Amino acid sequence: MLKVSVVVPVYNAGEYLARCAPSLLDQSIGRDAYEIVYVDDGSTDGSGAHLDRLAARHPHVRVVHQENSGWPGRPRNVGVRHARGEYVQFVDQDDELTPTALEDLYRLAARNGSDIVLGRVIGTMQAPSRVFRRTVDRCTAADAPLFESLTPHKMFRRAFLLEHGIEFPEGRVRLEDQLFMARAYVRARTVSILVTPCYVWNRREDGGNTSASATTPEAYYGYLRTVVDAVKEGTEPGPLQDDFLRRSYRVELLRPVSEPRVLQRTGPALDRYFSTVRRMALDCFPPGVREGLPPISRLRGTLLEEGRPDSLIELARRVRGIRPRLTVEDLHWSDGRLRLTTTIEMLRPDGEPLTLHERQDGRLCLDPEFLDGIEGAEDWEVRDPLAYAEGELLTHDTARDAWWFPDGDLTPRTQRAGGGRHRVLLSGTTTIDPLTLAAGEPLPPGTHLVWASAQLLGVGRRARVVPDDTLRRTPTVAVGRPPRLVIPTRTPRDAQLGLAVGPPGSTALHHRLLLRATTSPDLRRTTRKLLHRLPPSLRRRAGGLARRADPWSTPKGG
């Protein structure tokens, strides 16, 4: 039996086939250990013939042709039935795998007998996800936030899928990926998570990643009901089921009526949409789902279920204006690691801190000035202000669109602010180790911007880490053997903290080039002058460094 079958549904892929195929054909696991199963879903642009030519040149490529089904579900199911591998890896026609993805994923799966393996997703379609903070050998949906990752770009044990009859819905079905993953997660006994980048999820220039076909609220939320039903079928009522359902409630129900999109609806269109969402909230989600949300999210759910659209719209408008305030208290190197001490809090639209107010009976209520005039939100109690607060710093590899999580979570705390008010803060020290941050490997050459992510009182925000003038006293360091230079820098426009990383064997001359390439607003002219002073061999090497370090270069696919 082969180790892995890569299943790729294809329909009128055009030039994207040529982008995807090279990443699949020469995986490090070895051609005798895996196969690529393309399922041509009735393409009319010549994609089918292109696949046949590909299979003729590569023995580990197979092609299945079928009539058009209109959606990826049936091609994926057909691919699983034709697969000969112990594991199945789904890949979309416009995405890519990293060179060692199959080898890395299969090794983790074989070691743990995994039903599902999640490999880190990078690329222009992927936001940073806490799911991929650390490699996890064995977990389940009960003890890891797996429901935050509902795309099917993962590796599955084929016998697990067949044993439980886990298939994609066929035909033009919305939320088909979520339905498939919900059925899989509630049945999986062993799930593994790999922090190493495996899947490159690319945003297409023509916008073809997402469906452009319109649907009615009734149809869309009918599809969501099938996802909710799948969770209920695989779990018993209670806190665990509530936890599994909370993602659908928070994202598919509350987010559309809590963001600017709801403000664009008026009259009958708003009434129709609101009544459809409210009906589903009341019919499909037990009260424990809403009650387990952070304060502002719980308030939104209450206003929705009580039928207060005007209040919900006004709350959405005000929450939209909340901004994070980040303060850098300390920034220094220690043993080749950069240590940052930071504090984050949320500010109301008027620039004042979003606070809690203590009543005479000791209860804490959400900022009354922020909620003033919102019917149904009076004296909104915050039972535990720290229960849902979390935050961390993270780095963004701008050239590769990869996000990394350094060591050191930010700790939530409250602070008395006078007059019975309490501020809610996240603070702590984060350690950035340039030699281990990238999944245990050194940060690659280039620019790595430092961000902060925070969740406070049900408001999530990402903020740039912008230090004050202490950065000017933060030196360049050389780490590792052979040494690589790491220069703390600030971007010209926002003064955001970044780390400019040189290649192994960096020299003082590389230091000058790297510093100019990451801080000078006149990058090309400055770099050209320096390059012309070098001998040809070193000129080529330094020129490559300067290009990789350019913080204003456009990431691949972006």
Which pLDDT value is given to residue 266? 76
Domain ranges in the chain are 2-200, 217-320, 324-549
Q: Which of 431, 435, 445 is nearest to 398 (CA)?
A: 445
With contact defined as beta carbons under 8 Å apart, do 533 and 544 qualify?
no
Q: Which of 185, 177, 132, 175 is nearest to 151 (CA)?
A: 177
| pLDDT at position 538 over 50 | no
Exposure of 233 by Cβ count < 10 A (0-12 exposed, 13-18 middle, 19+ buried)? Answer: exposed
Half-sphere exposure of 49 (CA within 13 A, CB side): 3
Q: Residue 516's pLDDT band (boundaries 50, 70, 90)? A: low
Handedness of CA 266, 269, 271, 274 (dihedral sign): negative
First to last CA, the chain: 39
Q: Residue 324's pLDDT band (boundaries 50, 70, 90)? A: very high
With contact defined as beta carbons under 8 Å apart, do 478 and 484 qualify?
yes
Phi/psi region, residue 13 (left: phi>0; alpha: psi -120 to 50; beta: rest), is alpha
Which pLDDT value is given to residue 472? 64
Q: Which of 340, 314, 309 is nearest to 327 (CA)?
A: 340
pTM of the model: 0.85
SS3 assignment, position 334: strand
CATH topology of domain 2-200: Spore Coat Polysaccharide Biosynthesis Protein SpsA; Chain A (3.90.550)
With contact defined as beta carbons under 8 Å apart, do 122 and 42 qualify?
no
**78/85 Cα distance (integer angstroms):** 14
Q: Which of 503, 484, 505, 495 is nearest to 549 (CA)?
A: 503
Q: Residue 471's pLDDT band (boundaries 50, 70, 90)? A: low
Which pLDDT value is given to residue 120? 92
**106/117 Cα distance (integer angstroms):** 8
Six-digit token pair at 31?
């051609």
Tally of CB atoms within 10 A around 154: 22
**197/438 Cα distance (integer angstroms):** 9
Which pLDDT value is given to residue 271? 87
Six-digit token pair at 40?
């041509």
Q: Residue 323's pLDDT band (boundaries 50, 70, 90)? A: very high
Q: Which of 496, 471, 474 is nearest to 395 (CA)?
A: 496
| pLDDT at position 540 over 80 | no
Which residue type is seen at 85? Answer: G
**198/95 Cα distance (integer angstroms):** 11
Which residue type is seen at 175? Answer: L
Handedness of CA 81, 82, 86, 91 (dihedral sign): negative
**6/163 Cα distance (integer angstroms):** 19
**392/40 Cα distance (integer angstroms):** 43
**379/364 Cα distance (integer angstroms):** 9
Q: Residue 470's pLDDT band (boundaries 50, 70, 90)? A: low
pLDDT per position as a tens digit, 241-283: 999 999 999 999 998 877 756 656 778 888 898 999 999 999 9
pLDDT per position as a tens digit, 480-495: 888 889 999 989 889 9
Which residue type is seen at 169? Answer: P
In the chain, DSSP finds a helix count (H) and a strand count (E) of 17, 22
| pLDDT at position 236 over 90 | yes
Which distant-in-sequence residues (6+ apart) come within 8 Å of 317 by Cβ? 263
Which pLDDT value is given to residue 229? 96
| pLDDT at position 88 over 50 | yes
**Beta strands at 355-358 and 364-366: parallel, antiparallel or unpaired:** antiparallel
Six-digit token pair at 531?
């390059």
**309/262 Cα distance (integer angstroms):** 10
The length of the chain, given as a count of residues: 558
Q: Which of 534, 539, 497, 540 is nearest to 518 (CA)?
A: 497
**37/78 Cα distance (integer angstroms):** 10
Greatest Cα pair distance, the chain, in angstroms, is 79
Which pLDDT value is given to residue 261? 62
| pLDDT at position 517 over 80 | no
Q: Which of 208, 226, 252, 220 is nearest to 169 (CA)?
A: 226
Range from 340-349, 525-534, 544-553 that averages highest in pLDDT: 340-349
